Amino acid sequence: MLLTVDLEQLDIRPGDLLLDAGCGEGRHCFGALERGANVVGLDLDLPSMSPHTGRMNDAIAKKDARGGFLQGNTFQLPFADGTFDRVICAEVMEHVHDYRGAVRELARVTKPGGRIAVTIPTATSEHLYLRLGDDYFESPGGHIRIFRPRQLAEGLAAAGLRTESCSFAHGLHTFYWVLRSIAGLPKADLSRLVRFYHLQLIRAVGSRFMDRFEKKVLNYICPKSVVLYASKPTA
């Protein structure tokens, strides 16, 4: 399973209640279920979640867990203060104008002593894509800012969260998006080279060697994403 957040580093434990804000297809939800957590996957894009609702319900029933998918807005989360033990927000902040407001809302629903993981694209990879073509930032729903980890850490601190560590992810995907940027995003899927590399990515997910090579080498040379892990003080 292709995950951006390291669920072990986030310290997800059996019985924890997890919110995945901006969950998309729910990859992190399914990973957390495997670790015994109860999960809520929230996203504005209902069509992204809908095809996976049946699988989610089956996984919840199999694990005797609680949760499911919910359509909702990260800026107005329909949960009480301090609801969740763990919160994930992956590859969302680069799409929103008021990312500090989004972080405050995520912090609000996190329990005191809870932990949160927020992922953003690396500034290096974003600048590379920008040099190769404007489509990456001008396509509908595209990125509106290039983050530096320090900016995000400052936003987390302003919301009362303490950044404790970071990690990098998806070194193999950097080359994939380079190829897509060169081909031009509106027509990238028509490129034989893009389709060929995508096939290799799918094969790499099931390869123990490629997984280790990515985590031990590529994620330190050319990561696509950076993950900040933070906690909410108990006081």
Quick check: is 11 in a domain? no
- Output the domain CATH number for residue 147: 3.40.50.150
Place of tokens 């999960």: 39
Quick check: is 136 in a domain? yes
Quick check: is 12 in a domain? no
Q: Tell me how many domains the chain contains.
A: 1
**Within 10 A of 96 (CB to CB), how many other CB atoms are there?**
16
Question: Domain limits at 141?
Answer: 17-170+223-231
CA distance 132 to 185: 11
Quick check: is 7 in a domain? no
CA distance 78 to 84: 12
Task: Tell me how many helices (H) and strands (E) the chain has.
Answer: 11, 7
Q: State residue 139's pLDDT score.
A: 65
Q: Give the three-state DSSP class for 86.
A: strand
Q: What is the DSSP letter of 16?
A: -
Q: Which residues pair with 108 in a beta bridge?
A: none
CA distance 104 to 81: 11
Q: State residue 166's pLDDT score.
A: 94
- Torsions phi, psi for 117 (to 5 deg): -125, 125
Quick check: is 212 in a domain? no
Q: What is the DSSP letter of 112?
A: E
CA R_g for the chain: 18
Q: State residue 120's pLDDT score.
A: 95
pTM summary value = 0.92
Q: Which two tokens stand for residue 74?
A: 């990260």
Quick check: is 131 in a domain? yes
Q: State residue 1's pLDDT score.
A: 64
pLDDT in tens, the chain (235 residues): 689 999 999 999 999 999 999 999 999 999 999 999 999 999 998 888 989 999 999 999 999 999 999 999 888 999 999 999 999 999 999 988 899 999 999 999 999 999 999 999 999 988 888 888 766 666 666 788 888 889 999 999 999 999 999 999 999 999 999 998 888 877 888 999 999 999 999 888 888 899 899 999 999 999 999 999 999 999 7
Closest of 51, 98, 93, 49 to residue 72, by C-alpha = 49
Quick check: is 125 in a domain? yes
Quick check: is 210 in a domain? no
